[in-house]
C-alpha cells in the first residue's frame, strides 16, 4: 500500500467533546450508558449520540479507548468520534490502538489535547480493504484471546492448588492449639502526626515502613523509601529483623518478614515469635486461608475492615512439634518454588501473546497483513 493512503486523523473523523450530565438525570435503572474515560459511570435517558463510535479518554484515564454502539452519553472527561470520511469503525478502533495515544497525555493529572491526536497519521485504504483487514484481525484476535484464556485458567488452577495446600498443611486436629499471644508478642504500629513534620532525607536515620515498601515483595522487607526523625520514632513502633508485620486494615492479614529495622505505622501489627515456632512455618501459617478466615472473624468496621488487636491475640493456632514444623516448611517451600516456576512460564506466554497481538496490528497498519 502506498504512502498516499496515509491520512491525518482530522481528515477522517471529528473528536467531539463529551458533556457533563446532572446527577438528577443519572440512574442505574435507565437505558443509555454514560461513559467516563475508561468505564460506564451510570445510565441516563438523555443520550448524546446514537451510532457506532469510539470513546477516547480526555482526562484521568487519558487516551483509553472504548468501542461503543447505539445510544450513549459521553461524559465531560471524554472525546467521542464522528465520521468525516467513510471508515469502518472497527478498523478505526484497531488503528487508534497502534498510535499510542496515552503517551500524548500532559501534566500531573493527565489529559489529552485533541489537536495532538488530530495530527497523527493512519493508513486509510478503501472501505472494502478496511473490512478485510478487520475480518483478519478479528480472526487472529479471537485465536489469541482463546489461547490467553486457557493460560489464565491454568494460572487460576495453580493458585487454587497453592491455597488448598496451605490450608491442608495446618488442618490437623491432633496438634495442640495455642493462643497467638502465648507464642508471640503482638503490638500495633504508631504514626506521629502530622507525619510530614517527622520525615527526613537523612540516610542514616530510622527507616519508616510504608505500604508502598511491600510492592513487588513476596516475603521479605529489606528496603524503605522514607526515613523518620528520632522524635518521630518515639511516637511510632520499632520493628527488627525477623519480626513479622501484618496488615491490620483493608487487605488485612498479608504477612511480611522484616530483614531490616524501622518504624511501622498504625495500619500494621508486629508479631515477634518465641523459640517454639519456626519462622517459615509461622510465615506460611499467617499466609494461609486457614488464618485469614480466623482474622476475618476478628475484623470490625462496616466499610473498611480492621483487625481488632485484642481479638487477634486470642486467635487459636495449631502448633505441631518443631520437627513437624520443619517438615511442613520443606514441603511448602518446594511446592511454592514449583508453582512459582510454572506461573513464570505462563506469564511469559501471556507476554508473548500480547507482543504477537501488537506485532499483527503493526503489520496491519503498515499495509502488510493482507494482499490487495
Dump pLDDT digits (tens) for 247-294.
877 666 688 999 999 999 888 899 999 888 999 999 999 999 989 888
> For residue 131, which of 84, 86, 96 has the smallest C-alpha distance?
86
Of 116 and 193, the structure prediction assigns the larger pLDDT to 116
Instruction: Name the average pLDDT for the chain.
Output: 92
In this prediction, residue 247 carries a pLDDT of 82
Mean pLDDT lowest for which of 73-77, 244-248, 343-347?
A: 244-248
Q: What does the alpha-carbon distance between residue 35 and residue 55 come to, in Å, rounded to a whole number?
A: 8
Q: Tell me whether domains 3-124 and 176-319 share a fold.
A: yes
In this predicted structure, what is the pLDDT of residue 250?
Answer: 62
- Would you say residue 143 has pLDDT above 60? yes
Which of 106, 101, 99, 95 minimizes the C-alpha distance to 137? 95
Indicate the CATH number of 3-124 among 3.90.220.20, 3.20.20.140, 3.20.20.100, 3.40.50.880.
Answer: 3.90.220.20
Q: What is the pLDDT of residue 195?
A: 84
Provide mean pLDDT across the span 148-169: 96
Local confidence band at 303 (pLDDT 50, 70, 90 cut-offs)? low
Q: What pLDDT does residue 360 have?
A: 97
For position 11, what pLDDT does the model report?
Answer: 97
Query: Where are the chain's structural domains?
Result: 3-124, 176-319
Q: Beta strand 32-35 with 206-209: parallel, antiparallel or unpaired?
A: unpaired
Q: How many CA atoms lie within 13 A of 48 on its CB side?
A: 23
Per-residue pLDDT band at 2 (split at 50, 70, 90): very low
Q: Cα(161)–Cα(93) distance, rounded to whole angstroms?
A: 39
Give yes or no for residue 239 having a pLDDT over 50: yes
Please tell me the distance from the alpha carbon of residue 303 to that of residue 291, in angstroms, as a whole number: 21
pLDDT at 196 (0 to 100) = 87
Q: What is the pLDDT of residues 15-53, one digit of tens each?
A: 999 999 999 999 999 999 999 999 999 999 999 999 999
What is the spatial distance between Cα 149 and Cα 92, in angstroms, rounded to a whole number?
26
Rounded alpha-carbon distances, angstroms, from residue 28 to 41, 42, 44, 231: 9, 6, 8, 51
Share of the chain above pLDDT 70, in %: 96
The answer as to CATH 3.90.220.20 being correct for domain 176-319 is: yes
Tell me, yes or no, if the pTM score tops 0.85.
Answer: no
Q: Cβ–Cβ contacts within 10 Å for residue 178, how many? A: 16
Q: Which of 55-59, 201-205, 256-260 has the lowest mean pLDDT?
A: 201-205
- Whether 1 shows a pLDDT value over 50: the answer reads no
pLDDT at 243: 95
For residue range 308-325, list pLDDT tens digits in order. 889 999 999 999 999 999
- Report pLDDT for 148: 97
pLDDT value of position 4: 52
73-103 pLDDT per residue, tens: 999 999 999 999 999 999 999 999 999 999 9
Average pLDDT score over residue span 343-370: 96
The share of the chain scoring above pLDDT 90, in percent, equals 73
Closest CA to 331 of 339, 319, 321, 343: 339
pLDDT number for residue 121: 96
Amino acid at each position: 500500500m502506498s504512502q498516499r493512503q496515509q491520512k491525518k486523523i482530522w481528515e477522517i473523523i471529528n473528536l467531539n467533546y463529551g458533556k457533563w450530565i446532572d446527577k438528577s438525570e443519572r440512574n442505574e435503572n435507565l437505558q443509555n450508558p454514560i461513559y467516563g474515560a475508561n468505564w460506564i459511570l451510570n445510565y441516563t435517558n438523555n443520550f448524546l449520540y446514537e451510532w457506532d463510535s469510539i470513546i477516547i479518554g480526555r482526562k484521568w484515564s487519558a487516551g483509553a479507548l472504548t468501542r461503543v454502539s447505539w445510544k450513549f452519553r459521553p461524559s465531560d472527561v471524554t472525546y467521542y468520534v464522528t465520521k468525516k470520511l467513510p471508515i469502518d469503525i472497527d478498523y478505526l478502533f484497531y488503528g487508534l490502538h497502534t498510535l499510542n495515544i496515552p503517551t500524548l497525555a500532559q501534566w500531573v493529572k493527565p489529559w489529552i489535547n485533541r489537536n495532538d491526536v488530530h495530527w497523527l497519521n493512519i493508513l486509510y485504504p478503501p472501505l472494502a480493504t478496511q473490512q478485510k483487514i478487520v475480518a483478519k484481525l478479528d480472526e487472529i484476535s479471537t485465536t489469541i484471546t482463546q489461547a490467553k484464556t486457557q493460560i489464565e485458567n491454568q494460572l487460576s488452577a495453580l493458585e487454587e492448588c497453592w491455597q488448598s495446600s496451605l490450608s491442608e498443611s495446618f488442618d490437623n486436629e491432633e496438634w495442640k492449639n495455642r493462643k497467638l499471644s502465648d507464642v508471640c508478642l503482638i503490638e500495633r504500629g504508631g504514626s506521629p502526626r502530622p507525619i510530614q513534620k517527622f520525615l527526613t532525607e537523612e540516610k542514616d536515620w530510622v527507616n519508616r515502613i510504608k505500604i508502598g515498601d511491600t510492592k513487588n515483595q513476596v516475603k521479605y522487607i529489606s528496603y524503605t523509601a522514607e526515613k523518620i526523625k528520632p522524635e518521630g520514632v518515639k511516637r511510632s513502633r520499632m520493628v527488627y529483623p525477623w519480626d513479622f508485620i501484618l496488615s491490620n486494615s483493608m487487605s488485612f492479614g498479608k504477612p511480611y518478614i522484616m530483614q531490616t529495622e524501622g518504624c511501622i505505622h498504625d495500619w500494621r501489627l508486629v508479631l515477634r515469635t518465641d523459640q517454639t515456632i519456626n519462622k517459615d512455618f509461622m510465615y506460611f501459617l499467617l499466609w494461609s486461608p486457614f488464618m485469614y478466615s480466623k482474622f476475618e472473624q476478628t475484623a470490625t468496621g462496616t466499610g473498611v475492615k480492621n483487625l481488632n488487636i485484642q481479638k487477634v491475640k486470642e486467635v487459636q493456632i495449631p502448633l505441631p512439634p518443631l520437627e513437624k514444623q520443619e517438615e511442613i516448611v520443606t514441603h511448602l517451600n518446594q511446592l511454592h518454588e514449583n508453582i512459582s516456576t510454572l506461573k513464570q512460564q505462563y506469564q511469559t506466554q501471556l507476554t508473548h501473546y500480547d507482543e504477537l497481538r501488537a506485532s499483527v496490528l503493526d503489520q496491519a497498519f503498515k499495509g502488510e497483513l493482507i494482499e490487495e
